[in-house]
Amino acid sequence: MTIETENTVPDYLIYPDVLHIAKVGEPVLRKMAQPVEDFGSPQLLSFVDKLLTQMTEAAGVGIAAPQVFCSRQIMIIASKPNKRYPDAPEMTPLVLINPTFIAQSRNLVTGWEGCLSVPGLRGQVARADWVEVFYYDQFGEKHRRRFDGFVARIFLHEYDHLIGRTWLDSVTSNQDILSDEVYLKQFAA
Protein backbone atom coordinates (compact mmCIF):
# COMPACT_ATOMS: atom_id res chain seq x y z
CA MET A 1 0.00 0.00 0.00
CA THR A 2 1.29 3.48 -0.79
CA ILE A 3 0.15 6.63 0.89
CA GLU A 4 0.51 9.62 -1.37
CA THR A 5 1.14 12.96 0.24
CA GLU A 6 2.95 16.04 -0.98
CA ASN A 7 5.99 14.84 0.95
CA THR A 8 6.40 11.71 -1.17
CA VAL A 9 7.98 13.70 -4.04
CA PRO A 10 11.61 12.54 -3.97
CA ASP A 11 14.23 15.28 -3.51
CA TYR A 12 15.75 14.63 -6.91
CA LEU A 13 12.56 15.64 -8.70
CA ILE A 14 12.81 19.15 -7.28
CA TYR A 15 15.23 21.63 -8.80
CA PRO A 16 16.53 23.90 -6.05
CA ASP A 17 15.66 27.62 -6.31
CA VAL A 18 18.82 28.87 -4.67
CA LEU A 19 22.01 26.98 -5.30
CA HIS A 20 24.53 26.21 -2.57
CA ILE A 21 27.64 24.16 -3.14
CA ALA A 22 27.55 20.77 -1.43
CA LYS A 23 30.90 20.08 0.23
CA VAL A 24 32.45 16.66 0.65
CA GLY A 25 30.64 14.74 3.40
CA GLU A 26 27.18 15.72 2.17
CA PRO A 27 25.23 12.51 1.35
CA VAL A 28 24.05 13.97 -2.00
CA LEU A 29 27.64 13.68 -3.28
CA ARG A 30 27.51 9.91 -2.66
CA LYS A 31 24.24 9.19 -4.48
CA MET A 32 23.69 7.90 -7.99
CA ALA A 33 22.05 10.82 -9.79
CA GLN A 34 18.68 10.17 -11.46
CA PRO A 35 18.12 10.66 -15.21
CA VAL A 36 16.38 13.81 -16.42
CA GLU A 37 13.02 13.26 -18.14
CA ASP A 38 11.52 16.75 -18.30
CA PHE A 39 13.60 18.08 -21.22
CA GLY A 40 12.72 21.64 -22.13
CA SER A 41 10.67 22.25 -18.99
CA PRO A 42 10.86 25.79 -17.57
CA GLN A 43 12.12 24.30 -14.29
CA LEU A 44 14.98 22.46 -16.01
CA LEU A 45 15.97 25.43 -18.20
CA SER A 46 15.97 27.78 -15.24
CA PHE A 47 18.04 25.31 -13.19
CA VAL A 48 20.62 24.96 -15.99
CA ASP A 49 20.94 28.78 -16.13
CA LYS A 50 21.51 28.94 -12.38
CA LEU A 51 24.03 26.12 -12.55
CA LEU A 52 25.96 27.97 -15.25
CA THR A 53 25.95 31.17 -13.16
CA GLN A 54 27.12 29.27 -10.09
CA MET A 55 29.99 27.69 -12.01
CA THR A 56 31.05 31.00 -13.58
CA GLU A 57 30.97 32.85 -10.25
CA ALA A 58 33.11 30.16 -8.65
CA ALA A 59 35.57 30.33 -11.59
CA GLY A 60 35.05 26.60 -12.17
CA VAL A 61 35.56 24.82 -15.50
CA GLY A 62 32.82 22.33 -14.77
CA ILE A 63 30.01 21.60 -12.38
CA ALA A 64 27.54 18.76 -11.82
CA ALA A 65 24.01 19.01 -10.41
CA PRO A 66 24.73 16.90 -7.28
CA GLN A 67 27.20 19.63 -6.28
CA VAL A 68 24.23 21.94 -5.71
CA PHE A 69 22.08 19.33 -3.92
CA CYS A 70 20.25 18.21 -7.07
CA SER A 71 20.69 14.47 -7.67
CA ARG A 72 20.12 14.54 -11.43
CA GLN A 73 22.34 13.59 -14.35
CA ILE A 74 23.22 17.13 -15.41
CA MET A 75 26.67 18.61 -15.87
CA ILE A 76 28.24 21.63 -17.49
CA ILE A 77 31.77 21.60 -18.86
CA ALA A 78 33.39 24.88 -19.81
CA SER A 79 37.11 24.66 -20.22
CA LYS A 80 38.71 28.06 -20.39
CA PRO A 81 41.94 29.60 -19.19
CA ASN A 82 41.50 31.25 -15.79
CA LYS A 83 43.36 31.83 -12.56
CA ARG A 84 42.83 28.27 -11.40
CA TYR A 85 43.58 26.67 -14.80
CA PRO A 86 45.80 29.03 -16.79
CA ASP A 87 46.59 26.45 -19.52
CA ALA A 88 43.03 25.26 -20.18
CA PRO A 89 41.70 25.41 -23.78
CA GLU A 90 38.80 27.77 -24.47
CA MET A 91 35.31 26.36 -25.18
CA THR A 92 31.70 27.51 -25.08
CA PRO A 93 29.99 26.08 -21.96
CA LEU A 94 28.35 22.79 -22.84
CA VAL A 95 25.36 21.31 -21.01
CA LEU A 96 25.38 17.50 -20.90
CA ILE A 97 22.38 15.58 -19.61
CA ASN A 98 22.07 11.80 -19.07
CA PRO A 99 25.56 11.22 -20.54
CA THR A 100 26.71 7.72 -21.51
CA PHE A 101 30.05 6.37 -22.73
CA ILE A 102 30.59 5.10 -26.27
CA ALA A 103 34.33 4.56 -25.89
CA GLN A 104 37.30 5.84 -23.97
CA SER A 105 41.04 5.71 -24.30
CA ARG A 106 42.90 2.97 -22.46
CA ASN A 107 45.75 5.39 -22.18
CA LEU A 108 45.60 7.16 -18.82
CA VAL A 109 47.14 10.54 -18.16
CA THR A 110 47.83 11.85 -14.68
CA GLY A 111 46.89 15.45 -13.96
CA TRP A 112 45.95 17.80 -11.14
CA GLU A 113 42.32 18.33 -10.21
CA GLY A 114 40.43 20.51 -7.82
CA CYS A 115 36.72 20.64 -7.04
CA LEU A 116 34.27 23.21 -5.73
CA SER A 117 32.99 20.48 -3.39
CA VAL A 118 36.47 19.72 -2.05
CA PRO A 119 37.59 23.25 -1.21
CA GLY A 120 41.23 24.09 -0.64
CA LEU A 121 42.76 20.90 -2.03
CA ARG A 122 44.31 19.64 -5.25
CA GLY A 123 45.18 16.09 -6.13
CA GLN A 124 46.59 14.01 -8.96
CA VAL A 125 44.16 11.75 -10.77
CA ALA A 126 44.77 9.37 -13.69
CA ARG A 127 42.10 9.77 -16.39
CA ALA A 128 41.54 8.49 -19.92
CA ASP A 129 43.09 10.95 -22.38
CA TRP A 130 39.99 10.93 -24.60
CA VAL A 131 36.36 9.90 -24.31
CA GLU A 132 33.53 9.59 -26.79
CA VAL A 133 30.05 10.06 -25.34
CA PHE A 134 26.36 10.41 -26.03
CA TYR A 135 24.44 13.06 -24.13
CA TYR A 136 21.27 15.12 -24.39
CA ASP A 137 21.08 18.88 -24.26
CA GLN A 138 18.51 20.63 -22.06
CA PHE A 139 15.98 20.58 -24.94
CA GLY A 140 16.20 16.80 -25.36
CA GLU A 141 18.33 16.71 -28.50
CA LYS A 142 20.79 13.79 -28.54
CA HIS A 143 24.46 14.49 -29.34
CA ARG A 144 27.57 12.44 -29.90
CA ARG A 145 30.93 14.00 -29.14
CA ARG A 146 34.56 13.26 -28.46
CA PHE A 147 36.55 15.16 -25.83
CA ASP A 148 40.32 15.16 -25.60
CA GLY A 149 42.92 15.98 -22.99
CA PHE A 150 41.90 18.50 -20.35
CA VAL A 151 38.29 18.60 -21.59
CA ALA A 152 38.06 14.78 -21.29
CA ARG A 153 39.42 15.17 -17.76
CA ILE A 154 36.68 17.69 -16.90
CA PHE A 155 34.01 15.38 -18.37
CA LEU A 156 35.29 12.38 -16.37
CA HIS A 157 35.54 14.45 -13.17
CA GLU A 158 31.95 15.69 -13.56
CA TYR A 159 30.71 12.23 -14.58
CA ASP A 160 32.12 10.92 -11.29
CA HIS A 161 29.84 13.37 -9.45
CA LEU A 162 26.85 11.73 -11.19
CA ILE A 163 27.82 8.32 -9.80
CA GLY A 164 28.55 9.40 -6.25
CA ARG A 165 32.29 9.90 -6.51
CA THR A 166 34.72 12.79 -6.10
CA TRP A 167 38.36 13.00 -7.17
CA LEU A 168 39.34 11.98 -3.63
CA ASP A 169 38.15 8.46 -4.54
CA SER A 170 40.43 8.35 -7.59
CA VAL A 171 43.55 10.11 -6.35
CA THR A 172 46.72 8.30 -7.44
CA SER A 173 48.18 8.48 -3.93
CA ASN A 174 47.36 10.35 -0.72
CA GLN A 175 50.83 11.82 -1.08
CA ASP A 176 49.56 13.53 -4.25
CA ILE A 177 47.14 15.75 -2.30
CA LEU A 178 48.21 19.35 -1.82
CA SER A 179 46.61 22.43 -0.35
CA ASP A 180 45.59 24.97 -2.99
CA GLU A 181 48.13 27.37 -1.55
CA VAL A 182 51.05 24.94 -1.90
CA TYR A 183 49.81 23.82 -5.34
CA LEU A 184 49.68 27.37 -6.65
CA LYS A 185 53.14 28.11 -5.23
CA GLN A 186 54.64 25.00 -6.83
CA PHE A 187 52.87 24.80 -10.16
CA ALA A 188 51.41 28.15 -11.12
CA ALA A 189 54.24 30.49 -10.29
Active-site residues, by number, are 158
Residue number of the CB closest to Ni ion reads 115
Nearer to Ni ion, 40 or 126 (CB): 126
Nearer to Ni ion, 39 or 163 (CB): 163
Nearer to Ni ion, 38 or 109 (CB): 109
Q: How far is the CB of 124 from Ni ion (least distance, A)?
A: 15
Q: What is the 3-state secondary structure (H, E, C) of the chain?
A: CCCCCHHHCCHHHCCCCCCCCCCCCCHHHHCCCECCCCCCCHHHHHHHHHHHHHHHHCCCCEEEHHHHCCCECEEEECCCCCCCCCCCCCCCCEEEEEEEEEEECCCEEEEEEEECCEEEEEEEEEEECEEEEEEECCCCCEEEEEEEHHHHHHHHHHHHHHCCCCHHHCECCHHHEEEHHHHHHHHCC
Choices 4-12, 94-102, 110-118, 147-155; region in contact with Ni ion by CB under 5 A: 110-118
Choices 38-46, 114-122, 138-146, 179-187; region in contact with Ni ion by CB under 5 A: 114-122
d(CA 114, CA 120): 8
Q: How far is the CB of 80 from Ni ion (least distance, A)?
A: 16
Cα angle 36, 42, 46 (rounded to 5 degrees) comes to 85
Choices 21-29, 96-104, 111-119, 143-151; region in contact with Ni ion by CB under 5 A: 111-119
- Which residue from 115, 125, 131, 156 is in contact with Ni ion, where contact means CB under 5 A? 115
Nearer to Ni ion, 31 or 41 (CB): 31
Q: In the window 21-60, what residues touch Ni ion (CB under 5 A)?
A: none
Q: How far is the CB of 75 from Ni ion (least distance, A)?
A: 10
Q: How far is the CB of 161 from Ni ion (least distance, A)?
A: 6
Q: Which residues bind Ni ion (CB under 5 A)?
A: 115
